[in-house]
Structure 1
């Protein structure tokens, strides 16, 4: 069966902090037998050459092509991804405390919004294939698309499906009945989602339902299952703010140390 990813674009600024993204992209290329294209955007007159880019690869002779597009990094990356019909864009991070601190600065929001394909933000060193995925869901169409997309990309991985439900008036009414009703409604939605999934996907899912603020619940589950990849569905309207799990998307990018895959609906 043909893997859905045949072409990977990975962005680098030639610094050591880009190494993790480049290493992961090359590993995925080997795992999926996909072409890897390493891109370094040149915004000013620079003497950067393809050889300079190859020097940052773990193996300068690695099977990968090199591109040196001109222009601001965000646009150069998304334009190149579109031109080469990339199936996945890979980028890295510098620090975790703010979205503006990502390797490409606030460009990550631009890349996620404008890339024609899923975007993988790499935070950790690659130590093997992704095996434990944490997938956030609010039972929306976009969240379901992200779940199915991640399942197709990583057909051997365990899928930890997380939903944080709201208990109405919990701060004012300490009622077990109210809590039970809220959980029952969430469970019904989960059951409906699972029933609508292919058995090959359903059999790999471990559901996690909990009441509370979504970011807190996702953080707690992440500490419990130690995912090596977090998956977020995004509508692509205005970047992370319009993710299908709301502001949880930006919260996850800051709070969870695992790599993050953003998949846009359609």
Structure 2
């Protein structure tokens, strides 16, 4: 899915400046318009000239990259203020400084809340945008959603080297040891998991090598989130692409998702893709067809009109 419209969120911090630069580069690369929105830091009033500063950023980015840039005049104080614009964009580029204090301990980071609520891919920017992404690491679990992650990674940066990565969780091995299963049986279980992962990885890489000869692959054992971060440091990838299942704030607080763990352990940019997402264009087309179908059913369900007598 090539992004046709991009929304960038900033708080005027260094993270926000990096996000604006990255969003502008992506818009110039894909010929997409860019919309900017300012999010106030939690618990603090926004600067009085926030609107003027945002408009100035829009003017500079438009002139520097030769793109169409529009700034939202209304200041966003909550995540709900951003969601309407986010639902109309193919990609949300996020750039805010981490929130501190007791408030963030119980409510979490604004970025985490946006990942739960936003139905679009979210690009969390940490590093300065010094050019297009040169290499990316795509975390796969061999489900059908993995294909969507790979396709989105290819579309986002066509010239980047792509490495598919899968981490075999060792949690089940711990359960087997707790149940006093023999080490020989545990070793056989590990080898079977390794064979399965290698077969599925070959299935994924083989389907893309025909179109692209820069697809690499790697398999490791351990915590998926930690292993993804370690592999990113080994490969020096500029971007990590990871999927995310729907979850609530309580579930995220009690059970850390892989996407949240990757964001916590890694230092590179991370593209978080919600499972089952659809591009804005396809979503609007589906909604339009559904509306036309409902209208057609209402017409056909009515009683036939009896023609009046002359």
Change (3 A) 1:164 1:58: farther
Distance 2:201 2:31 in 1: 35
**Residues 131-172 of structure 1: per-residue CA shift (max 9 Å, x gap):** 211111111233332222212222221111111114554766
Q: In the alignment, is residue 186 of structure 1 matched against residue 197 of structure 2?
A: yes
| Alpha-carbon contact 2:38-2:50 (below 8 Å) kept | no
Which of 187, 210, 215 does residue 199 from structure 1 map onto?
Answer: 210
How far residue 200 of structure 1 moved from its aligned partner, in angstroms, is 2.0
CA deviation after TM superposition for structure 1 residue 114, in Å: 2.8
Distance 1:45 1:119, change over 3 A: closer
SS in 2 for 1:200: coil
Q: Distance in 2 between matches of 1:97 and 1:165?
A: 34
Q: For structure 2, list consecutive stretches of 5 or more residues without a partner in the other structure.
A: 277-310
Question: What residue in structure 2 maps to residue 59 of structure 1?
Answer: 60
Larger Rg belongs to = 2
Judge conservation of contact 1:97–1:254 (CA < 8 Å) in 2: no
Counterpart mapping for 1:134-173 below 5 A: 134-166=137-169, 169=173, 173=183
Alignment CA distance shift 1:7-1:109 (3 Å): same
User: Is contact 2:24-2:61 (8 Å) kept?
Assistant: no
- Given that residues 14 and 97 in structure 2 are in contact (C-alpha distance below 8 angstroms), is that contact kept between their aligned partners in structure 1? no
Shift, 1:119, TM fit: 0.8
Is residue 96–residue 255 contact of structure 1 (8 Å, CA) maintained in 2? no
Which is worse superposed, 225-234 or 41-50? Answer: 41-50
1:246-265 alignment, distance < 5 Å: 247-265=257-275
Q: Determine whether 1:122 maps to 2:120.
A: no
Distance 1:197 1:240 in 2: 38
| 108-117 or 182-191: bigger deviation | 108-117
Q: Per the alignment, do residues 18 and 196 of structure 1 end up closer, same or farther by CA in structure 2, a change over 3 Å counting?
A: same
TM-score (norm 1): 0.80
Determine if contact 1:5/1:88 at 8 Å carries over to the other structure. Answer: yes
1:87 is displaced (CA, Å) by 1.2
1:54, 1:60 within 8 Å by CA — same for their partners in 2? no
Q: How far off is 1:49 after superposition?
A: 5.7
Shift of 1:120: 0.5
1:30 and 2:28 equivalent?
Answer: yes
- Give the match for residue 72 of structure 1: 77
Instruction: Give aligned pairs, total.
Output: 255
Stretch of structure 1 that moved more, 89-98 or 24-33: 89-98
Structure-2 change in CA distance of 1:20 and 1:184 (3 Å): same
Which stretches in structure 1 are left out of the alignment for 5+ residues?
none
Local SS of the residue matching 1:227:
coil
- Which structure is higher in helix share? 2
SS of residue in 1 equivalent to 2:84:
helix
Instruction: Using structure 2 for the length normalisation, give the TM-score.
Output: 0.70
Counterpart contact for 1:231–1:261, Cα < 8 Å:
yes
Are 2:217 and 1:216 equivalent residues in the alignment? no
